Structure 1
Amino acid sequence: MKNVSGHAINKIKAHFESMVDMPKNDWLFFISKLEERFYSKKSIILRKGEIENMFCYLEKGSIRYFIPRSEDIEVTFGFRHEDEFSSAYDSFVSRKPSHYSLEAMEDSVLWCIEYDDLQEIYARTSVGNIIGRVFAEYNLVEKWNRELSFINQTAEERYLDIFANRPELIKKVPLKYLASYIGVTPQALSRIRKRIS
């Protein structure tokens, strides 16, 4: 078994136990496949065009999802923070090159499982497929919620929604990334913040 920290084990186990009762042997087999990875601030975890091979639990740090358009232009469309799972999930599942990149916004610690190991978990454990289905459903709901926010909300409403439901983004994410995430320029976001302050 790899040396998984007690804190990380407890957090990951709590996520799984909120979905399904996990037999001890299944759990031990799962954690035997985990690999700890460290990323320094600003390092690229996955580049656009690469195939995602890892599904990870973010023990410490934060991750930005973005589409590089040119040397100077990037479109940020997602974030992950401590105690969340992270992956270019569409690439992970389809085994096709990712359309976007993942970057560590600060020094980050991830516990990752490789694609082939996860398939083995699905095949050899009694609850692996249930966990896989739940994560797939979570990613789908998150995707739809984000798309609907751009149809049903103004940029100011999207910012207020973040302020109410994901305050960690306001505290940790640089203004230019947050502006891109809600679909406005940094200057427009500054005006929004002044209006509601």
Structure 2
Amino acid sequence: MGYVREYYERIVKLVEADWQYISSCFERKSFAKGEVITAKGQVENYLSFVEVGIIRHYVPGEDNDLTFSFCFEKEFTCAYDSFLTRLPSEYELQALADTTVWRISFDDLQKVYANTQVGNYLGRIAAEKLFLAKSKRELSLLKYTAKERYLQLFYQQPNIVRQIPLKYVASYIGVTPQGLSRIRRQIS
């Protein structure tokens, strides 16, 4: 839980009583490499903070999955739209490495919001960060070529290029694995 507190305290200093209440609502859970964390059609019930590991967000397909996001250590993640609306998720979350998370249920998060002022503030900050990341991703897909998107990943998020299998990187930037190979040859 130390990483979660450290993450929160980069935003706001926590009073010990608030931290004790908030931390009591989290549980630790581990997932094996390749394990589906949230399945398509399942209502997302947990907001998770990644202690260690990598999580991929994707739309499963018959021939190819469509990868649209990755989450690394010390980041919050979930099928956020499903978590908020309480409707079944249209995509899946999968552990790309052995992954351990600290997670809080939807109901417990609502209690944190109701019982702590700092919980509301932290929730707003987390929602704003998720919105900004989603907005940046959408603009990237609209404004840049696949080559430009790959170069942006290479310079801005090198952990994706280094740690994620190339077939998922290709899907993430919107090309086939062969197309990504061509892009990589062009820039090397």
Does the alignment pair 1:191 with 2:182?
yes
The Cα of 1:17 is off from its aligned counterpart by 1.3
Match of 2:130 in 1: 139
> For each residue in 1:123-179, what CA deviation from the matched residue of structure 2 results, as whole angstroms up to 9, or x when unmatched?
111211111111111111111100100111111111111111111111111111000
Counterpart-to-counterpart distance in 2, 1:11 and 1:34: 12
Does the alignment pair 1:157 with 2:140?
no
Listed as ranges, the gaps of 5+ residues in structure 2 are none
TM-score normalised by structure 2 residue count? 0.97
The letter of the residue matching 1:114 is: S
Does the alignment pair 1:43 with 2:35?
yes
**1:12 counterpart (4, 14, 20):** 4
The Cα of 1:69 is off from its aligned counterpart by 2.1
Match of 1:75 in 2: 66
Does the alignment pair 1:122 with 2:113?
yes
Counterpart-to-counterpart distance in 2, 1:145 and 1:14: 25
Identical aligned residues as a percent: 45
Listed as ranges, the gaps of 5+ residues in structure 1 are 1-8
**2:50 counterpart (47, 58, 66):** 58
The letter of the residue matching 2:86 is: R
TM-score normalised by structure 1 residue count? 0.93
Question: SS of the residue aligned with 2:51?
Answer: strand
Q: CA RMSD in A?
A: 0.9
**1:87 counterpart (59, 64, 78):** 78
Contact residue 44 and residue 83 of structure 2 kept, 8 A: yes
Paired residues in the alignment total: 188
The letter of the residue matching 1:155 is: A
Contact residue 38 and residue 92 of structure 2 kept, 8 A: yes
